[in-house]
Amino acid sequence: MGKILGGEVNDQSFRVAVKGIFASMIIGIVTIASLLCLFFIASPNMFARWNTVVTMFGFLGSQGVMIWVCLSQIRLKEKAPSTESSRHSWTA
């Protein structure tokens, strides 16, 4: 029973993590597209151009961290054989 429940929790956490990854990718694509529009609009102003580039790289870094957290959550759930043992490992 514990293994079956653990399997259900793993499947659910996997779906949630995949949804989080896709959501962060969609947000990233929309934001980078808007920043590229700003980059070409502000092309005469060199300071605004570099500010846009720095903002884009910072946003890409934060999206990478979000995806890495989702993937590490999947790995943690796969390593836990059942919900009871994962509870004990968190409290210990």
Taking residues 48-66, report their average pLDDT.
Answer: 77
Q: Is the pLDDT of residue 81 over 60?
A: no
Taking residues 25-38, report their average pLDDT.
Answer: 79
Whole-number pLDDT of residue 77: 64
Tell me the pLDDT band of 79, cut-offs 50, 70 and 90.
Answer: low
Taking residues 18-28, report their average pLDDT.
Answer: 79
Tell me the pLDDT band of 4, cut-offs 50, 70 and 90.
Answer: very low
Among 1-5, 27-31, 35-39, 51-55, the minimum mean pLDDT is found in: 1-5
Crossing angle of helices 83-91 and 2-41, in 10° steps, is: 70
Is pLDDT larger for residue 38 or for residue 80?
A: 38
From the list 19, 37, 30, the residue with the least C-alpha distance to 73 is: 19
Q: Hey, what are 65's tokens?
A: 């961290």
Q: Hey, what are 74's tokens?
A: 């999947």
> What residue type is assigned to position 70 of the chain?
C
